[in-house]
Each structure stands twice: as structure tokens, then as C-alpha cells.
Amino acid sequence: MAKAKIEVPQIKTKREMPSLQPGAMAHSKPYVAAPDHQKPLGFPGELVDNWEEKAVEKLRELLGKYRSLQVFLDSCVHCGACTDKCHYFLGTKDPLNMPVARQDLLRQVYRKHFTPAGKAFGGIVNAKPMSKEVLDDWYKYYHQCSQCRRCSVFCPYGIDTAEISMAAREIMDHIGMGQKYCNEIIAKVYKIGNNLGLPGPALKATLEDFEEDLLDETGIEVKLPLDVEGAEILLIAPSADFFAEPHIDSLFGYAKVFHQAGISWTLSTYASEAGNFGMFIGSYENMHKISNRIRKAAIDLGVKRIVFGECGHAWRVAYAFLNTLAGPWDFLDPKYPVPQSIIEFTHDLIRRGALNLDKTANDHMTLTYHDSCNVARATRMGDMPGGQLILPREVIKAVCNKFVDMDADTIGEKTFCCGGGGGILTDELLELRVKGALPRMEALDAVVKQEGVTHMAAICAICKSQFSKVLPYYGHDMEMIQGVHQLVSNAIQLGTKE
Amino acid sequence: MSVLTVAYALLFYAATAILVLGLASKISQYARTPSPLKIPTTPAPLTKTGAGMRVLREVVFFESLFKSNKWIWLLSALFHASLVLVLMRHLRYFTEPVPLWVLLVQPFGAYGGFAMVIGLLGLWYRRLGIQRIRFISAPSDHLMILLLVGIGSSGLMMRFLSRTDIIEVKAFCLGLLYFEWHPLPSDPSLLVHLGLVALLMIVFPFSKLLHVPGIFFSPTRTQPDDARERRHLAPWAAPLDNQRDA
Ligand code: SF4
Ligand code: SF4
């Protein structure tokens, strides 16, 4: 695909604090959802008549439902500590991409309609009534937030702009101003079972092709089972694993691990999607509905465990929300946490020596690892705090000889988003995505130059797609991005253990 | 009893009532509002005690702010720590006999006043001088600093320039507490000082000073990381479970 014309930010060796360029991204907004995308989710098809009041009404409802929203809107002291923490601000210089400024777009309406100070002295506290102008700003700038939570790490009150963005999107959906990309995808899940709209028979055919590929590659019959009743494990993979590169290679990695471990597993047509876009649009109801497809699949197939494939935001919904949304899981094997991440699963096998791995298979690469924002700051793996940062690295180190971390301020809990998370992985937002990737690209560039890093691994379907797309803008090969189980797939010695 | 004394006495009763009732209603609002999902910013402690310690570290050491920006951390730590000292020092106006520890902080408290104003001016300098922070500042942010600087400097004036009769002030304060009013000295710095303090008490529950109760209710900090172990159903969300097929 030809590269669109985008002014790619220059990589600097030392990160510079941008001087503000008001309005720099005022032209950036995603396509608005059509009635067909809105209605299956329970939202009005187009902007409703008295949308100003409806928006304020919805805000009132959300304030009563979410303590986070109420506390966050009240507590910000405008200290400015978060102002330089957002990758979209660093990459675009648009001041409305500073987390606090982004919050203030909603806070101004909250103050005007819900606080005595805003009602009495609007001008002094920057309160503004709901208006077309405000709605336009919301639509633009709440779709320039990848809900990565980096700002919340640094805020003295833990204010998480992601929560505010989700609330704003929820309000916009309810007045008929939804975003096409997310809502179209959710509608597909309801109709077909996954984000890609890949129907059952097509999925079956795809998996059969893959089995042949695996047989050619390894000489061994590695299976990719679909809808197998009574399997031990239900694997929920992001649907990109069924068709996109480099995602497929990680799917092969999972299959090989299951094969060598000799544990029966299955995918499900009905729940053929790990990603839950209900989170991006802040819709508890839609998130609940999508999550419960997994519950139903687990019950129908009679599995004992649920394992999630490589996907960051999927892992957030799975780890942090699934128990609440779709539990209790009393019908599953209580020996294992529900759900588990494929990283936890493989890590455990490696620790027990159940996999035969040849690290030299990855010797042509020097790896670094990109902590996906949702994994790093919203979930856990294993049984100790921070395991989500440790386990993936241990898996990589078990299958690769050469591994280097990027600058400490850009990984772990301080990781920079890939620039494509939070429901904005769509082509009309490409400029935003390219610019938002800048801080990650700077850190990557440094280890490429200083440590000879050739590849970067990740465990998120969005990160993989996003990097495949933006790496070339920064002069790198799109194949530079690898899945962790892609590395496992290279290293695992099939036929030696099972 | 002079009009002035009556006016200030009433002002303080009103300000106290507004502060207490306003804060109580905000706190009960926060406590009543459910958190329907587990959203601690991770890595997070796994237990409630651990999460409590995390909040404590935020309150006492400003842990996240320290990660974020050393200058803001330094200046606001200076301001808040001095404020605590100064408040402790002021307890002597409300206690008889004055407890020993309050007597012991007296000398530090006096200089705490300077440190507090320096911290505030430093924060204001950043608010004005740094483009990013200027951009996000509302008029109320500047006014809040002015108000606090006004309180601090009028207090320092009384201590170091035109000394006020603090015996009389104490009598007035105790009089307020025990509903036996005593006349208030009509010193200009004192009147300004007390007037601004009353104003601060009044705006407290309606302003960003709500960060004080807010930090104790911020789910990203207060929640333990135990999502897989415990369901976290909010009352409004629970009925949705009846709609599922399985
Ligand atoms: S959540 Fe991430 S993308 Fe959104 S404002 Fe915060 S740092 Fe920026
Ligand atoms: S760090 Fe927190 S309190 Fe400070 S400006 Fe940002 S959101 Fe507001």
C-alpha cells in the first residue's frame, strides 16, 4: 500500500518538549457511525433532536454510575504533571492532546451543568455549556486518546484520562454521534462472532489451510481445532491472528505449544474474538454482551480452562473485567486462574521444563520488547504485582539469546502506547497514529543504533497491526515487529518431547 | 460587642458550616457512587491493606507526582508540608492548656509560613512561566494561589511586622468554640488574614480543593488488584446478568 503523505516527526536522540501548536490536530477525526453501525448496539442512528440536553442527562447518569468519573472530574488541580506524558501530545504538539486539557473538554461541561461554582462563576472556572462547538471538540479529541493510562500513572490523584474518554464516547454514542470504526466492528461481533466478520465456514477453512502449512513446515500434524466439545482449554484469540501478519505466526506458536504440552484445546466460532471493543466506547452493556459470548462458548463446549491469545486490550477486559462481566466461573477447573493469558500458560510450561526450546533458532535477531499499554498498566500476569512486565520478558529470554530493553522511562508501567490503541486503528486516523508512535519510535531507534536491535516483540494484536503500518514511516521494515509466540514458534522443537 | 466581632464570629460559623456540610455531602456522594469495574493502575498491590498503603504513600509522599515531575513535586511538597506545620502551630489558638507538642512546633511553624509562601510562589511561577501549564490554567487556578499567598503573607505580617495581640486573638477563637464571644482586635492584617481563611473554607467544597477527599476515593489508587479472585458487581450492573443466555 502506498504511504499516505504525512509529515513524519523527526526522531531526536534526546526527547524535546514540544512548544504548543494549538489546533495542530483539529482536522483529525474518525468517520461517524452510520445508523447500521449504531442500532445493533442500542444507540440512536443519528444525532438526536435535543442532543444537548440528552448529553447532559447521560453525563448525569454516568456520574451516578462511575465513581471514577465523579472523583476525577472534581479532583484535578491543574498541576500540569500529566501535560508532557501523552504520546499524542508529544507527537502532535496539539495542546488539547495534553491529558488534563483532554479531560477539561468534558470537565467544562460538568462544571457548567453540575457544580455551583460553574453555574455561578462559569468564566472563572472555565465552565461551558454543551454546544455544537464542544461536541466537535469531543469528537475530535476523545478520538485522539488511545486510553493507554500513561497519564494516570503520573497523576498525583491517579486521574485516568481513559475513563474520561470512555465516558465521553459513551455519551456521544447515546446522542447518535458514534464512531464508525468501533461500532461497525461491534455490530460484526453480534452478527458473526468476531471483529473481522469472518464467518464460521471461512474460519474453518482458514484453520485447515494453516494446519497444512504447519505440516509442510514441521512435518508434524499440529492441529488448530475449532468447536471441539470436551476440549480442556478454550483459546480466545484476537481475530487478527486468523489473517494478519505477523499475528498468524503467533497463532502457530500457540498451536505448537499446546501440541508439545499434549493438552487438548479448541477455538470457538461463536466466541472467535478476544478483542472487546465495548471497552473503547465505554459501554458496560456492550462489553457485558460481548464478554458473555465467551461464557456461553465455554459452557457449550464443556471446557475446563479459558486461555487468551496475544492481545493487550483484550487482556485488560479478560483479566480485569471478565470475572465481573461474565463470571462466576465455578464450572471451570478451580486449579487455574480464569482466564489465563497464553503468556502465563507458556511461561508455566517453560518453568516446568515441559517445552523443548532451541534459542539459536532466533539468533538472527536481537530483540527488544514493547510493553503494550493495557497489559502493563491495567492487568497482571502470574501471582505477583508487575508479573505482566516480567513474564513476557522471561518467555522471550527462554527462546532468544539476544534481548535488550529500551529506555526505562519508555517501558514497564511507563511504557508508551504504540499509537494505535483504544479504538483508533483506522486509516482515516493514520496521521494521528504515525505521530503518536513518535515516543516509541525514538526509544526503539536508540536501541537499534546503540545495541544493534533488529526486531521488537509485542503481545498485542493492535500493537502488531499498528507497528506494521507505522514502522515504514520511520524508516524501518514492517517485519521488524514480532509476536512473542512467533519467537516461541521458531524455537520450539516439535517431535522431540511429545 | 463591636459589629466587627459579631460579623467575624458569624462569618466563621457560616464558613465552618459550609465547609463541614459541603465536604460531608461530597464525601458521601463519592462513597455512594459505585465503581463497577476493577481499574487499579497496575502494577498494583494485591490486597486491601496494600492498596491502603499505596494511598497513604500518595498522601504523605506524593509518590506518583515524584515519578512525574521533580520540580512540581518539590514545590508542592514544600507547600503542603509547611501548611501542615502552620496548621499545627495554629492549634495553640484553639487549645487551653496548649499541648506540649503544639508548643514544640511553634518555632518551626513560624518559618513554615515562609516556606509555604515560597512553595506557592514557585508553583505560581511555573503556572505562569511554563507554556503547557499556563495553557491549562483557569482564572480560578491563579486566584486560588493568590488566596493562599494572601493568607500566608497576612499571617507572616502579624508575626514579623505589626505584631498582633495574640492573647486577644486566642480569646476570640476560644470564644467561638465555647460560644462565649470575646472581642476581636481590629488589626488590619488580622482582619484580612481571618477573612481570607473564611473565604478558603467556603470555597473548599466547591473547588479543586476536593482533591483532598478525592485521593481517598480514586479507584485507580484505592482498588487492590484482585480482579480474577473476586467479582466486582455494582448494584446497577448486576441485573444485566439476567439477560445472558448462559
Ligand atoms: S490515556 Fe493515554 S492517550 Fe489518553 S490522554 Fe492519557 S496518555 Fe494520552
Ligand atoms: S496530573 Fe492529575 S491533577 Fe495534575 S493536571 Fe494532570 S490530571 Fe490534573
Tens digits of per-residue pLDDT, B80-119?
999 999 999 999 999 999 999 999 999 888 889 999 999 9
Cα distances from A114 to residues A59, A101, B236, in angstroms, run 10, 19, 22
Place of cell 503544639: B102
The residue with cell 466547591 is B206
Q: Which of A464, A421, A158 is nearest to B42 (CA)?
A: A158
Smallest Cα–Cα separation from A255: which of A54, A12, A489?
Answer: A489
The domain ranges of chain A are 36-178, 187-491
End-to-end CA distance of chain B: 76
Q: What is the CA radius of gyration of chain B?
A: 22
Residue A17 grid cell: 518538549
Whether the pLDDT of residue B245 is over 90: the answer is no
- Atom in ligand 1 nearest the alpha carbon of residue A102: 5
The reply to whether residue A385 touches residue B43, judged by beta carbons under 8 angstroms, is yes
Quote the ipTM score. Answer: 0.96
Q: Average of pLDDT values for A118-135?
A: 96
Name the residue at shortest CA distance from atom 7 of ligand 1: A86
Asked whether the CA dihedral A445, A451, A453, A459 is positive or negative, the reply is negative
**Mean pLDDT, rounded, for A139-167:** 98
How far is A255 from A277, CA to CA, in rounded Å? 25
pLDDT band at A391 (very low <50, low <70, confident <90, very high): very high
Mean pLDDT within B204-217: 98
If pLDDT is split at 50, 70 and 90, which confidence band does A1 have? Answer: very low
* Fold assignment, B3-227: Fumarate Reductase Cytochrome B subunit (1.20.950)
Q: Return the H-helix or E-strand segment holding A307.
A: strand A305-308
Please, what sign has the CA dihedral across residues A238, A241, A244, A250?
positive
Beta bridge partners of A236: A308
Cα–ligand 2 centroid distance for B178 (angstroms): 41
Residue A272 CA to residue A268 CA, distance in Å, equals 5
- Nearest alpha-carbon partner for A125 in A76, A67, A167, A57: A76
d(CA A381, CA A315): 10
Bridge-based pairing of strands A233-236 and A305-308 is parallel
Decide if B36 and A66 are in contact by the 8 Å CB cutoff: yes
Say which of B64, B137, B228 has its CB closest to residue A155: B64
Instruction: For residue B135, give the ligand nearest its CA.
Output: 2
Q: Pseudo-torsion of CA B209, B210, B213, B219, nearest 10°?
A: -130
Contacts of A115 in chain B (CB under 8 A): 206
Q: What is the β-pairing status of strands A340-341 and A265-266?
A: unpaired
Pocket lining for ligand 2, CB < 6 angstroms: A 76-82, 99-100, 155-157, 159
User: What is the arrangement of strands in the sheet containing A367-369, beginning at the earlier edge strand?
Assistant: A367-369, A455-458, A481-483
Asked if the Cβ–Cβ distance from A285 to B36 is below 8 Å, we say no
Exposed / middle / buried, residue B80 (Cβ in 10 Å: 0-12, 13-18, 19+): middle
Are the C-beta atoms of A169 and A162 separated by less than 8 Å?
no
Q: H/E element holding B32? A: helix B3-32
A2 — pLDDT class (breaks 50, 70, 90): very low
How is residue B214 written as a grid cell?
Answer: 478525592
Q: What sign for the dihedral angle of Cα B48, B53, B55, B56?
A: positive
The protein residue whose alpha carbon is closest to atom 5 in ligand 1 is A99
Residue B100: Cβ within 10 Å count: 7
- Whether residue B168 has pLDDT greater than 60: yes
Q: Say if CB A359 and CB A396 are below 8 A apart.
A: no
pLDDT tens digit sequence for A285-341: 999 999 999 999 999 999 999 999 999 999 999 999 999 999 999 999 999 999 999
What does the block give as the cell for B191?
482582619
Q: What is the pLDDT of residues A248-271, one digit of tens each?
A: 999 999 999 999 999 999 999 999
How many CB atoms neighbour CB A208 within 10 A? Answer: 12
The C-alpha atoms of residue A88 and residue A24 are separated, in whole angstroms, by 11
Considering only CB atoms, which chain A residues are within 8 Å of B131? 19-20
> Is the Cβ–Cβ distance between A161 and A68 less than 8 Å?
no
Q: List chain B residues with CB under 8 Å of A328.
A: 231
Determine, for residues A80 and B132 on separate chains, whether the beta-carbon distance falls below 8 Å: yes
DSSP-assigned letters across all residues of B146-207: HHHHHHHHHHHHHHHTS---HHHHHHHHHHHHHT---PPP--HHHHHHHHHHHHHHHHGGGS
Rounded CA-CA distance B222/B232 in Å is 14
| A23 touches B: beta carbon within 8 Å | no
* pLDDT value of residue B151: 97
Which residues on A lie below 8 Å from B135 (Cβ)? 20, 95, 98, 101
Distance B161 CA to ligand 1 centre (A): 49
A217-230 pLDDT, tens digit each:
999 999 999 999 99
Residue A142's closest CA among A176, A160, A168, A181?
A168
Would you state the cell numbers that stand for residue B148, as one nine-digit string?
493562599
CATH class of A36-178: mainly alpha
Nearest residue (CA) to ligand 2, atom 4: A79
DSSP-derived 3-state class of residue A234: strand
CA distance from start to end of chain A: 42
Q: What is the pLDDT of residue B110?
A: 80
Which listed ligand is nearest to A98 at the C-alpha?
Answer: 1
Choose the weakest-confidence range: A187-191, A221-225, B141-145.
A187-191
The Cα–Cα gap between A414 and A417 comes to 9
Q: What share of chain B is helix, strand, coil (3-state, %, to 5)?
A: 75, 0, 25
- Rounded CA-CA distance A450/B106 in Å is 56
Asked if residues A342 and A376 have their Cβ atoms less than 8 Å apart, the reply is no
- What length does chain B have? 246
Residue labelled with grid coordinates 455519551: A171
Substitution site in A73, A74, A82 for ligand 2 pocket (most atoms within 8 Å of beta carbon): A82
Q: Could you say which ligand is closest to the alpha carbon of residue A94?
A: 1
Are the beta carbons of B159 and B113 closer than 8 angstroms?
A: yes
Interface test with B, best of A17, A59, A67 (most B CBs within 10 A): A67
User: Torsion-angle region of residue A237: left (phi > 0), alpha (psi -120 to 50) or beta?
Assistant: beta
Closest alpha carbon within chain A to B37: A321
Three-state secondary-structure class, residue B241: helix
Residue A28 makes CB contacts below 8 A (sequence gap 6+) with: A140, A143, A144, A429, A431, A432
Residue A402 CA to residue A390 CA, distance in Å, equals 16
List ligand 1's pocket residues with C-beta within 6 A: A 85-86, 88, 99, 102, 145-151, 161-162, 417
Taking the model in full, what pTM does it have?
0.96
Rounded to a whole number of angstroms, the distance from the CA of A305 to the nearest CA of chain B is 13
Mean pLDDT over the full length of chain A: 96
Task: Say whether A368 sits in a helix, a strand or coil.
Answer: strand
**CB-CB contact of B96 with A112 (8 Å):** no
The three cell numbers of residue A234 are: 478454550
Contacts B136 to A, Cβ<8 Å: 78, 80, 83, 95, 98, 100-101, 104
Conformation bin of residue A176: beta by default, left when phi > 0, alpha when psi is -120 to 50: left
Q: How many residues does chain A have?
A: 498
For the CA of A157, the closest atom of ligand 2 is 2
pLDDT at A4 over 80: no
- Contact by Cβ (8 Å): B142, B121: no
Give me the mean pLDDT over the A234-247 stretch. Answer: 95
DSSP, res A366: -
Over residues A347-368, the pLDDT tens digits come to 999 999 999 999 999 999 999 9
Question: CA nearest B75 in A: which residue?
Answer: A79
The phi and psi torsions of A235 (rounded to 5 degrees) equal -100, 125
- Bond from prior residue into A95 cis (ω within 30 degrees of 0): no
B105 min Cα distance to partner chain A (Å): 28
What are the residues facing A233 on neighbouring strands?
A265, A305
